Amino acid sequence: MTDMVRKQIYISRRQQELLKTLSKERGISEAEIIRQAIDRESANAMPKTDLGRREAWEKTYQFMLSLRDRAEQFSEPYPWNREEIYEQRLSRFDHPPGDV
């Protein structure tokens, strides 16, 4: 058994009756029902995003929207061939093409 910590909590009468009913129906202790509820709640909790991440997401989203709005500019495929691309790449260096 894992280390347990004793907690004293207040619940409403309605919650107390529900807890007793669930305990009897499931054949487990009231404490176990509470532990399971805490585990379920923490598993479903959404992580909090810090402001920086939110701002980064907003910028990314706005960029995607701008690409969508400019989509008609890119209706034609980009014409290229392997030799031209290779020449462009080599031209970035100080030596002429073929002098590798």
Annotated domain spans of the chain = 51-90
- The label of the residue with tokens 């909590």 reads 9
Q: How confident is the model at residue 99 (pLDDT cuts 50, 70, 90)?
A: low
Q: How far apart are CA 40 and CA 91, in angstroms?
A: 60
13-38: pLDDT as tens digits:
999 999 999 999 999 999 999 999 99
- The label of the residue with tokens 């500019």 reads 73
Residue 54 confidence (pLDDT):
82
Residue 35 confidence (pLDDT):
94
Going by the DSSP 8-state scheme, the letter that residue 90 receives in this structure is H
Confidence (pTM): 0.45
34-82: pLDDT as tens digits:
999 999 888 877 666 566 778 888 899 999 998 888 877 777 777 778 8
Q: What count of other Cβ atoms lies within 10 Å of the Cβ of residue 32?
A: 13
